[in-house]
Structures are given as C-alpha cells and as structure tokens.
Amino acid sequence: MDTLVFLGTGDAMGVPRVYCSCETCTEAREHGSNTRLRSSVLIDNGSDFLMIDCGPDWRRQMEAQGVRNMRRLLVTHAHFDHIGGLPEWADACRWTGIKGELYTPAEVIPIIERQYPWLRNHIEMIPCDEGLELDGWKIDTWKVNHGKNGYSYAFRLEKKDYTWVYCPDSISLGADETRLMHGADLLVLGTSFYYEAAELSTRSVYDMTEAAELLQIVKPKKAVYTHMSHDVDMREAYILPENVTLAQTGMRIPLYKNPFSSL
C-alpha cells in the first residue's frame, strides 16, 4: 500500500525565521510543534519511494526518515525552496553510484541547469509534460498561477480507484487550472497564511480563507494544507472546512480508499 509522508510543511523561509520573535517562531524554538522545514513529500510504497520537490532542507529530511539514498524526484518549479537540495542529492548520487531521475516540465529544466550546471553529471532530467507513469501511478502535470512569483506546476496522481493532487504554490486559479483537481480523493494545497491582508498583486500563495472557497468549487473528499508561514500557529483553533487537516512533519496518509471511512 502507498503512503504519503510529509517531510516539510513550511513556506520558502521555514519556521522559525532567524530574525523573528513572534509567538509562533518562539514556540517553534522552545517546543517544536510549529517547526516547519520547506515543503516536500514522498510516496512510500514499502520498498521504494518517489519524492516531490527537493528544497534546502533535503538532507535533514532524509536523515529524519533514516533514508540513505534517493533515485527519483518530481519537481513542481525551480524556486530555491523546491530545488535548493539538488546539489546535495547530486553529491549523494555521485558517491552511491546512482544516476538520479528528475522529472519536471520541459521549461523548468533549463532554469535548473543554469543554476546548477553540473547536475547532469549525476542526475538525468526528464520532461514530463505529456505525463508519465511511475510505480503504477499515472501522473499528469499542468501550469498554475503563482501570483507575483510567476508560475508553478501541479501534479495529479492516479492509481486504481484513488486520485490525489499536489499543488503547493498557487493562487487565484481559474477554471482551466483547477480542471484536474475536481473530485480528487485528496488535495494537498499550499496556504501560507490563515488570512493574508496584503494586496493581491503582491501575493503568491493562497490563504486558508481563499482555499476554502476553492474547495467548494473542486470538492475534494479530503484536503491537507501545507506550505505554511510563521503566520500559522498549530495551537490555534482555526475555522476550517470539516474535511481539512493542517499538515505536520512526519504525518502519513494512506493513498488508497478506506472502505470504512466516509472520506
């Protein structure tokens, strides 16, 4: 059985932020329930795994899972919090003799190569615009609005009778961008704030109040919010749709239908 594991649930800066002494960052330093590494997940099938995004916390995330090598990765876009761990992965591939497989849309590949031109020595970069299949998962990808930060990509993964979507960086999505989200068993969605008061043109990721409106349209059976900034305090009782959970590091979700569950 496949299981989704949350390796990191934070936004681009993570929590705590070095400069910040807000209540959330202070709690993260003292107790840790709000400690958040940069957002990343993996699909564990019991004998191997497939990871999505490889931020600068990759090494810490691998150590926390007790994993010593990785051979396959999906990348949503080429921002640092999603690719900052690639040099460390490439070095691991070098020393273990593994040729890594990085799957991402074709237009993302040259951006990664400009930033890390030596990666191809150890990692094969494979465009996935036309979709692909890995470990029995049929995977589709499409471009989504990332607000002032340009664009990102989302992934829809389908196996047998279970479908889930991973979309950590998006905002103000239109009908075409949400088409493949409709009716998913699980939607993992980035929500950096509970409510973000900044002017919309300056923003790049949904807040939780906007996400609730999106869920009313796409109607997933279950949703998990990730990519959370220090504005989100896990001790707070936020008003959320009843099918929504806030992601926590190490959280595991079965990626198959439970016949005894209403979700």
CATH (domain of 116): 3.60.15.10
Residue 133, in any domain of the structure: yes
Q: pLDDT tens digits, the chain, 263 residues: what are they? A: 899 999 999 999 999 999 999 999 999 999 999 999 999 999 999 999 999 999 999 999 999 999 989 999 999 999 999 999 999 999 999 999 999 999 999 999 999 999 999 999 999 999 999 999 999 999 999 999 999 999 999 999 999 999 999 999 999 999 999 999 999 999 999 999 999 999 999 999 999 999 999 999 999 999 999 999 999 999 999 999 999 999 999 999 999 987 445 44
Number of domains in the chain: 1
- Let me know if residue 241 belongs to a domain: yes
Q: Is residue 129 part of a domain?
A: yes
Strand partners, 244: 223
Characterize the bridge pairing of strands 132-134 and 137-145.
Answer: antiparallel
Q: Calculate the CA 212 to chain-centre distance.
A: 18
Question: Per the domain annotation, does 261 fall within a domain?
Answer: no
Please check whether residue 99 lies inside any domain of the structure.
yes
31 assigned to some structural domain: yes
Calpha distance 185→260 (Å, rounded): 15
Q: For residue 226, what are the domain limits? A: 3-254
pTM: 0.96
Q: How many residues does the chain have?
A: 263
Q: Is residue 25 part of a domain?
A: yes
Question: Is 262 part of any domain?
Answer: no
